[in-house]
Structure 1
């Protein structure tokens, strides 16, 4: 209710500012858009460990209606259908664990559910000059909270979002009281949305029990992108999660030479708020008092190619925690199909080569990344929440766009992860984590 009242005040004030900007009569305009997606995902594990695979189809359809140059309403319906080529509720017989990746194509809370339908976006939008205010359900993109659109249904948010974008900077402010985590069929309050994915371990080694026990009413966000100089860009984000934690993300970028080379730095600072989600240690989400991440990245561009070298270090003394349900942590060392979240005293180095080829007016984009991730021992839950061994990670991503079939956009992602370092001979440290090969084949039809 407080969000609704605040939004009305903002919208009313902007309407007064607009005054008699135009005497032209309102022009009604409706537009339908959408996407049909078919997604095959297969994970092939080591030796006798179970292989998992799934085929999903579905997509989204949206409608927006513009009343005039200022006011717009819209909605998007999302769906995912499990074609049932494998029963994902059946676990690996050795470890007793179910699919990690394939489950994300469907309802992670109920793998027997063959159909998800969710009204993921339903909003009222007001725009004036360079101001824009959105109220309702929506999809936002920030460094930490984002759609993480690598499955069928993205992460979605409910609340109020304001954007102001003059020439040299952009400011975004938001308050949200509910989130629909990726691959779920409904919106949850902020606290309840945490713990829909695997919860890992508490620092004492026992299974985390924060799922369903985390108390938080809202998230307040602020983002700023600024270019104080033609060769300098700065990105700054702050996430205030009521009663749990505050996270600051800073990313300055300096263009070098003739702008084909740039150096970027990043810093993440996290501080626990209150009880970190629950007054009982065993039920608490944010267990450490604080956490810090430092990173650097060099980028080289020429013609239609780009090379990046990214490094991140999660400092000792506190695990970097951010709910996986809310988005990917877009750190310099991020690679599709794995994360650094949940670790402390972690190092990661990633080389990425991105090139686009033109073939008879068609576009073929290839992205190859090779990373090495030094993890704390799997036997150290205080620094390694998810018992993830160190690993070498290879990704090869291919995107194809046809001049004749512009609406059709296929993608093929191949993933190979190799375990590194010493860790106990326990299949729980291997299944769906290391020594695995994965195929992702996606066909998108946009309309």
Structure 2
């Protein structure tokens, strides 16, 4: 009798559980029902979730590349959007999550191979999925998923997140930026000091939809050549347990600052940088010193599969002097990479930090470089319009000097014209950017068009619309 009673009680409880676990057909869906009343207790976890903030972005990106003569041109239309949510603070903790989707609409064939050079589009492909050039639909990515702890003006976050450092950064020149996974924090020990850094164990590079371990992320972009001229073959062959970053910034009087950075990539290489920025009235100046060396065998014991040749090291000196007054900002910039070896930093991780950087090209992968760049920026006083003009001459080693020229890029000149307009009033949140880039050859290409296509004697056109809400 007692056993029967217990059996009946079990059936009742089990039936109640089934009811709680299933959604009846004729009832409203409650998967997102939340709680009807808003929590008023600011110390409760529910209050933190109810009073969180949602941010959104809709983005359209048109890009086209015009190459010389019969070499293949390309164009792309990309559209996408995403949402990001972050809770209010709960005992110093915040939770954040965000994702993004992209559609390829009316673009040229990203898998098309130029018949003269056997290459595909260089710029347009990274608007979508570099690991699957035919992918037009499954272009979504979980971008942020972290737990952050705030204390005073500082914070530490664990998980998938955005960071912007000299060597690992957003490099947002396509649809979505580079994202990282790990432990990263910003700490302010005093008003004039800032410490930032942490440990990274995964990266989702710009132009991809997946997440990769540190070693796997090196080589998704083109591998160039080894120092002996053989084809680079480090994709999928680099062993590394992660990246350790540490940066220190000290604010000096009168707007001057001193920065120290170190990036240690386990089993691959180490990079250190010192930067000093000065300001005297309207005059500004800056100097950077960067040095690199391999760690162990540079990622792989096999020299044909390694990333950073242990026989090389690099030094970079970058300088600027400029005048900034009112709405004008001007500068003359110079960068010297010594002939001791290639300056190397995975392109999947970010753009160059040098003063001579210009969008749509970089000096990573080269040694024995002299780069000269002039920049002029103007912000219109009576309209939310900004204009930027820059022109540079980049003297590189010969394209057949493989030890110092990883990607077979000849010396070149580059012209950039950039216009950005931010709407107000009824269209507040909408901004439009137009970027024109022209690169002209200034080196010997040995009548081989693989040194020309998507590299020199080309123009690149960009039109980007963003709506932030």
Structure 1 residues without counterparts, runs of 5 or longer: 1-22
Q: Which residue in the other structure is 2:43 paired with?
A: 25
The answer to whether the aligner puts 1:250 opposite 2:274 as a matched pair is: yes
C-alpha deviation, 1:128, in angstroms: 1.1
Q: Which residue in the other structure is 1:163 paired with?
A: 186
Q: Is the 8 A contact 2:327 2:381 kept in 1?
A: no
Instruction: After superposition, give the CA deviation of every residue in 1:27-54 in whole Å (9 maximum; x if it has no partner).
Output: 4212110111000000000000010111
Q: Which residue in the other structure is 2:420 paired with?
A: 399
Q: Is the 8 A contact 1:59 1:152 kept in 2?
A: no
Q: Which residue in the other structure is 1:348 paired with?
A: 371
- Distance in 2 (alpha carbons) for counterparts of 1:273 and 1:375: 26
- Distance in 1 (alpha carbons) for counterparts of 2:255 and 2:203: 37
Q: Which residue in the other structure is 2:326 paired with?
A: 303
Q: Is the 8 A contact 1:59 1:153 kept in 2?
A: no
- Distance in 2 (alpha carbons) for counterparts of 1:24 and 1:204: 64
Q: Which residue in the other structure is 1:12 paired with?
A: none
- Distance in 2 (alpha carbons) for counterparts of 1:352 and 1:69: 46
Aligned with residue 147 of structure 1, among 148, 162, 170: 170
Larger fraction in strand: 1
Q: Is the 8 A contact 1:79 1:153 kept in 2?
A: no
- Distance in 2 (alpha carbons) for counterparts of 1:138 and 1:24: 26
The answer to whether the aligner puts 1:382 opposite 2:403 as a matched pair is: yes
- Distance in 1 (alpha carbons) for counterparts of 2:432 and 2:91: 35
User: In angstroms, what is the RMSD of aligned CA positions?
Assistant: 1.3
Instruction: After superposition, give the CA deviation of every residue in 1:405-432 in whole Å (9 maximum; x if it has no partner).
Output: 2210100000000000333111101000
TM-score by length of 2: 0.88
C-alpha deviation, 1:389, in angstroms: 0.5
C-alpha deviation, 1:231, in angstroms: 4.7
Q: Residue 50 and residue 24 in structure 1: after superposition, are their counterparts in 2 closer, same or farther (change >3 A)?
A: closer
Runs of 4+ in 1 over 4 A off after TM superposition: none
Q: Which residue in the other structure is 2:237 paired with?
A: 213
Q: Which residue in the other structure is 1:8 paired with?
A: none
- Distance in 1 (alpha carbons) for counterparts of 2:107 and 2:232: 32
C-alpha deviation, 1:358, in angstroms: 3.0
SS of 1:104 mapped into structure 2: helix
Aligned with residue 323 of structure 1, among 346, 349, 360: 346
- Distance in 2 (alpha carbons) for counterparts of 1:36 and 1:231: 36
- Distance in 1 (alpha carbons) for counterparts of 2:66 and 2:457: 9
- Distance in 1 (alpha carbons) for counterparts of 2:301 and 2:90: 50
- Distance in 1 (alpha carbons) for counterparts of 2:75 and 2:143: 26
Structure 2 residues without counterparts, runs of 5 or longer: 1-40
The answer to whether the aligner puts 1:199 opposite 2:197 as a matched pair is: no
Count of aligned pairs: 421
- Distance in 1 (alpha carbons) for counterparts of 2:42 and 2:456: 62
TM-score by length of 1: 0.92
- Distance in 1 (alpha carbons) for counterparts of 2:350 and 2:97: 21
- Distance in 1 (alpha carbons) for counterparts of 2:229 and 2:133: 27
C-alpha deviation, 1:69, in angstroms: 5.7
Q: Is the 8 A contact 1:72 1:125 kept in 2?
A: yes
The answer to whether the aligner puts 1:76 opposite 2:94 as a matched pair is: no
Q: Is the 8 A contact 2:194 2:250 kept in 1?
A: yes
C-alpha deviation, 1:264, in angstroms: 0.4
- Distance in 2 (alpha carbons) for counterparts of 1:160 and 1:390: 40
Q: Which residue in the other structure is 1:357 paired with?
A: 380
SS of 2:252 mapped into structure 1: strand
- Of 23-32 and 299-308, deviating more is 23-32
Instruction: After superposition, give the CA deviation of every residue in 1:70-94 in whole Å (9 maximum; x if it has no partner).
Output: 1110111022211142111011111
- Distance in 2 (alpha carbons) for counterparts of 1:190 and 1:230: 40
- Distance in 2 (alpha carbons) for counterparts of 1:308 and 1:217: 40
Q: Is the 8 A contact 2:294 2:312 kept in 1?
A: yes
Q: Which residue in the other structure is 1:117 paired with?
A: 140
Aligned with residue 96 of structure 1, among 104, 118, 139: 118
C-alpha deviation, 1:381, in angstroms: 0.6
The structure having more radius of gyration, on CA atoms, is 2
C-alpha deviation, 1:59, in angstroms: 2.8
Q: Is the 8 A contact 1:295 1:332 kept in 2?
A: yes
Instruction: After superposition, give the CA deviation of every residue in 1:316-355 in whole Å (9 maximum; x if it has no partner).
Output: 1110000000000121110000010000001101000000
The answer to whether the aligner puts 1:281 opposite 2:297 as a matched pair is: no
- Distance in 1 (alpha carbons) for counterparts of 2:43 and 2:115: 67
Q: Which residue in the other structure is 1:105 paired with?
A: 127
Aligned with residue 72 of structure 2, among 38, 44, 50: 50
Q: Which residue in the other structure is 2:458 paired with?
A: 436
